[in-house]
Structure 1
Amino acid sequence: MPIVLYNTLSRKKETFLPLKENQVSMYHCGPTVYDRPHIGNYRAFLFPDLLRRFFEYKGYQVKQVMNLTDVDDKIIQRTHEENTTLQELTQRYIQAFFEELKLLNVQPAHHYPKATEHIPQMVRLVETLKKKGLAYESNGSVYFSIKNFPHYGRLSHLDLRTTSEVSRISQDEYSKESPQDFALWKAWTPKDKNIFWQTSLGKGRPGWHLECSAMSMEYLGESFDIHTGGIDLIFPHHENEIAQSEGASGKPFVKYWLHNEHFLLNGQKISKSLGNVLTLPELLEQGYNGAVIRYALICQHYRKRFNLDTTKSMQAAHSALEKLVYFRQDLESIQKKGEPHSEILQILHQSKDKFNQALEDDLNLPVALAALFELIKRLPLPQINQQEAKAILEFLTQADQVLGVIDFHIQHLYSTVDKKRIESLIHQRTEARRQKDFDTADRIREQLLNLGVLVQDLPNGTKWRIKGGKT
């Protein structure tokens, strides 16, 4: 089955055909580093991680780029509020961002270009647009002329024929109801203080939209496969990227535009005005580890709006992860020999097919996860032999290559466990049971339970695992 992805450009699912065989080039809009991202922002950072993991699972060679916006209107305003320098402010939040990506088991992108380190590329892009009659100067700033770019509005399905007059705007963000010539280069003003660059365009700084065009083409070329971001970036940001990039190069900029929906937090839109902005460290403080949070954020389809309940959703994510982890541990403990059972191998084959087909259908995680839980439900665990367990474990490992949660959760569970002490207590308890000293055996079991360890006595020995809790 071919891979199909929902392309915002065409508003339909399309078969994925990369520009270069067996290679995928992807660009993702990263954070604007004036503050910590809130938990809602991380959906836009986890989605490309899933996408990359899936393509690598399918055997593609992926080149992934995520920008870091380290100069824009909001950042400059924050430097004034905190009386700090641009570099001090942005570096603090860049470091925090990288630490939090690690907490969610996000694979590092191959490149994290900073806007401030690519000013020459941006200036060259603006100069090219000026030569082609797509940009003009006004009061020291340079604006893109959207009326001179016939395809403007194609991504956001905006019809300029219904707009009687196009004005200019210098702000980075504005509404879809007001298409305007946007700033490519912003002339210095006193409020910018010492944040400026002296270039052939004059004294000033780049516009936000310009940054992504220049950096994506610098690392991926004038045309590449996939660009992702939240639905809020479709207009004006991504629309303006297309105009700048295709206006300069004359070539198609991005083949597939993929956008993730936002989610509600405890039934409400995440908003500073509502006072419900929640950061990743704050959610971790509630006792949930990164694997549980990752699962809660990826288990819904990336284009579906859902409600993240910080109690019910997180508990459900923990329970689901616990089921997957315990299933893996059960399989790892199987030592029974014997001939393969055709019905068991058939169940495994069917689950593999369902898992793969779900992912190939626009990265449908809910259906892919359902295939795993159906596998757990259908398999007759007592009948499985060691050879069959090995085959099932191989599939679980492959599935987790995409999900990034099972092994990650196990690492969390056992990170604070003194394994030698537990094994010693297990041995003491086994000896007590062998000598029929059941009082001692029960006391040791209680001791293990207080350490968060569950004990299960089986015909071939004693098995132990870390009990649930929030972790």
Structure 2
Amino acid sequence: MSVYLYNSLSRQKEPLETLTPNQVEIYCCGVTVYDYCHLGHARSYIVWDTIRRYLMWRGYAVHYVQNFTDIDDKILNRARAEQSSMETVAQKYTAAYFEDMARLNILEADEYTYATHTIDGIKRLIHELEQKGYAYPAEGDVYYAVRQFAPYGRLSGRKLDDMQAGASGRVSTVETKKKDPADFALWKAAKPDEPAWESTWGPGRPGWHIECSAMVRDRMGDTIDIHVGGADLVFPHHENEIAQSEAATGKPLARYWMHNGMVNVGGEKMSKSLGNFTTIRQLLDASDGLSPMALRLLVLQAQYRKPIDFTESAIASAQNSWATLETGLLFGHHYGSALGWPDAEDSAFGDPAAMRIEPDSEPVKEFQAAMDDDFNTPGAIAVLFGLAKELERQGNLIVHQSKPDADAAVLQPQWQTLVCLAQILGLETSPDQANSAQANDLDDEQIEALIEQRRQAKQAKNYAAADRIRNELSAQGITLIDKPGGVTDWHRVQ
């Protein structure tokens, strides 16, 4: 069965047919490095990392390239505010990006490319566009003549005449340089106290859109398989990339365009002006914050093209869900020796690379069917939870009745299947990671007090608070077992 993906360009699902059989060229629009990464970045890069991982599992050789925009008005504004330089700001937030992505278990790209390292390629591309009649100079700037490119608007579905009719009557100094209000800058004339590069149009710096067109071409050629990014990039960024690249080469820039949905916080679009802007590290480092794997799970429980809403209840649910999944993932480490698994003492025990799972088993087939259908991660996660909940049940039987009600030889492939499939989604843990989260051990009295607080919260129908307490205990290795009559037993996971 083929992998089917939704192509934003055709607005329908299509089978993945790559330029070279069994190879995939993917370009991902990266961050503008002027601030810490926020939840929108987390959502986007978790999605593309998961799709990349899945294609690798399906046997594709994936070449994944991601850029950094390291020259931009926002970076220059931050440098002025911090009395710093463009280079210092870019280096600081590039390093922060790598720190945040590592916490979310996002694989590093095969190649990273930087706008400031591609200046020669940018200038070459602008010259080509100028020679072909798609670009024109204006007082040190260079603009793209949008109306020269007949297919403009094909990706976003926008029409130039409609855009012009909806524009305001205000005319800025920049607008007077343009032949058409819809034209956009390829090269910007130097301003005082700003970085600039020499060119035949005078000193200046590149516009945002031309950077990606040049970086794709320099690193990957004229046409790639998949171009990915957030839905907010469809227009104007990706629309303009297509116009630039395809006018220059006469070839499609990408066979498939994929876009992830936006992030809301408490039902409203995340923005600094609304005061609901949250960075990844703020969410993860808060005293009651989400664990990195719970954040990854929260993102993957939503269909990647749909909006996702970060609410208090969604965060609590994600923590609770991760606690269940983590319990299943650790099952072999906790009970493998007791169950007599022959490799339980091997040094590679628990390593997915050393596991061989049955490709024709029902869980694997269901997982693959879901992911082949436009990377349906909610469906794939449902398969994981089916496995994890059964292993959790068997673990409870071992703790309370000294033995499971399933054959030990059956439980081992179930556990290995869970571990391997979860790794494809980037959902991983280990005894060491789990133990580090349990560093602040609670004594029995503290545990009983928290259980009582949880009971009172449930009685008051404050289920979010009750879930937070359960998650706090789970993170410290305390499993709760609710029984009839409001009684809750507990035990420490060894």
TM bucket (normalised to shorter chain) is 0.7 to 0.9
Structure 1 counterpart of 2:221, one-letter code:
G
Shift in alpha-carbon separation, 1:89–1:347, aligned structure 2, 3 A:
closer
Aligned twin of 1:465: 493
Give the one of 383, 387, 402 matched to 1:371. Answer: 383
Q: Provide the C-alpha distance between the structure 2 equivalents of 1:217 and 1:451, rounded to a whole number of angstroms.
A: 46
Change in Cα spacing, 1:161 to 1:416, as seen in structure 2 (3 Å) is: closer
C-alpha distance in structure 2 between counterparts of 1:163 and 1:413, whole Å: 54
Query: Given residue 5 of structure 1, which amino acid in structure 2 is its aligned partner?
Result: L
**What secondary structure, in the 3-state scheme, does the structure 2 residue paired with 1:142 have?**
strand
* Counterparts of 2:186 and 2:250, CA distance in 1: 18
- Report if the CA contact (8 A) 2:438-2:476 is conserved: no
Match of 2:140 in 1: 140
How far, CA to CA, are the matches of 2:52 and 2:359 in structure 1?
28
**SS at 1:75 equivalent:** helix
How many residue pairs get matched? 416
Query: CA contact under 8 A between 1:2 and 1:16: conserved in structure 2?
Result: yes
Query: Match of 1:396?
Result: 418
Which aligned pairs between 1:43-122 and structure 2 lie closer than 5 A?
A: 43-122=43-122
What aligned pairs does 1:310-325 form with structure 2 within 5 A after superposition? 311-325=312-326
Does 2:434 match 1:413?
Answer: yes
- Alpha-carbon deviation of 1:351? 2.1
Q: What amino acid is aligned across from residue 13 of structure 1 in structure 2?
A: K
Task: Provide the TM-score with structure 1 as the length reference.
Answer: 0.81
Relative distance call for 1:40 and 1:162 in structure 2 (3 A) is: closer
Secondary structure, counterpart of 1:34 in structure 2 = coil
- Are residues 232 and 170 of structure 1, via their aligned partners in 2, closer, same or farther at CA, if it must alter by over 3 Å? farther
Q: How does 1:309-388 map to 2 (within 5 A)?
A: 309=311, 311-332=312-333, 333-334=335-336, 336=339, 349-377=361-389, 381=394, 382-388=404-410
Deviations 1:144-164 (A, max 9, x none): 111111111111112335566
Residue matched to 1:238? 238
> Cα gap change, 1:169/1:259 in structure 2, threshold over 3 Å: closer, same or farther?
farther
- Deviation of the 1:41 alpha carbon: 2.4
Q: Deviations over 1:280-313 (max 9, x none)?
A: 221122233211222122221111113111x322
Supply the AA of the counterpart residue of 2:135: A
In the alignment, residue 391 of structure 1 is paired with which amino acid? Answer: P
Aligned equivalent of 1:307: 309
> Which letter maps to 2:294?
V
Q: Distance in 2 between matches of 1:455 and 1:139?
A: 69
Instruction: Spell out the pairing of 1:36-47 with structure 2 (5 A cutoff).
Output: 36-47=36-47
CA RMSD of aligned residues (A): 3.1
Which whole-Å CA distance do the structure 1 matches of 2:474 and 2:34 have between them?
44
Could you tell me how far apart the structure 2 residues matched to 1:164 and 1:401 are?
A: 49
Cα deviation 1:56-110 (Å, max 9, x = unaligned)? 1111111111110011122122222222111011111111111101111110011
What is the match of residue 354 of structure 2? none
- Residue 415 of structure 1 and its aligned partner are, at CA, apart by 2.6
Does the 8 Å contact 1:188/1:204 carry over to 2? yes
Gaps of 5+ in 2: 342-356, 395-403, 440-472, 481-490
* Cα 1:170–1:151 shift into 2, 3 Å: farther
Deviation at 1:170, TM superposition (A): 9.4
Amino acid at match of 1:465: V
Q: Deviations over 1:156-177 (max 9, x none)?
A: 11233556689999989xxxxx
Contact 1:289–1:412 (CA under 8 A) maintained in structure 2: no
Whether 1:253 aligns to 2:253 is yes
- Shift of the 111–171 alpha-carbon distance from structure 1 to 2, 3 Å rule, reads farther
C-alpha displacement of 1:11: 0.6
Cα pair 1:245 1:253 within 8 Å, conserved = yes
- What's 2:190 paired with? 188
Which residue is equivalent to 2:228? 228
The Cα shift of 1:317 comes to 1.4
Aligned-residue offset at 1:368: 0.9
Query: Which AA in structure 1 matches 2:411?
Result: A
Write the distance in 2 (CA, Å) between the matches of 1:64 and 1:159. Answer: 32
Unaligned runs of 5+ in 1: 173-177, 339-344, 419-448, 457-462, 467-471
Q: Check the 8 A contact 2:37/2:100 in 1, yes or no.
A: no
Deviation track 1:24-72 (CA, whole Å, cap 9, x = no partner) reads 1111111111111222222112111111111111111111111100111
Conserved? CA contact 1:263–1:306, under 8 Å: yes
Q: Is the 8 A contact 2:387 2:415 kept in 1?
A: no
- Work out whether residues 212 and 241 of structure 2, in 8 Å CA contact, stay in contact via their aligned partners in 1: yes
Q: Distance in 1 between matches of 2:405 and 2:340?
A: 10
Cα distance 1:50–1:453, how it changes in 2: closer, same or farther (>3 A)? Answer: closer
- Write the distance in 1 (CA, Å) between the matches of 2:22 and 2:374: 18
Higher alpha-carbon deviation: 273-282 or 156-165: 156-165
Give TM-score scaled by structure 2 length: 0.77
